[in-house]
Amino acid sequence: MTIHEVLPSVASLSHAEKCQLVLVLLRQLAEEEGIENLSATANDFDPRHYFGIAQHTRQAVDDYLASAREGSVALKMSLRGCLKQYAKLELIDQEQDAWQAAVSDK
């Protein structure tokens, strides 16, 4: 069975059923990879632990931007070229079709 055959069935599932499917798939992958305690963590998930996390993160970003406007934080305006030392020039020609090649191999 291919992913293209499975996707229409998955699309018709409810949100809760999709979440259950994700948990089943993660457990199967964990078993195949020999990862322990994944099922225990998935069963112990409590969304109340994460309440307000998004607001906290947004507040941290807002504080950083405010301090940057005040001049207390030095902003680097561009990161262009910072990874140039890691470039493999011989592979640049292959970048155009890299995604299609990677997907078709699997």
pTM of the model: 0.35
Compute the average pLDDT of residues 16-45. Answer: 76
The DSSP string of 28-97 is HHHHHHT--SHHHHHHT--GGGGTTHHHHHHHHHHHHHHHHHHTSSPPP---TTTTGGG--GGGGGGGGG
Digit-coded pLDDT (tens) for 77-104: 666 777 777 888 888 888 888 888 888 8
Label residue 75 by pLDDT band (50, 70, 90). Answer: low
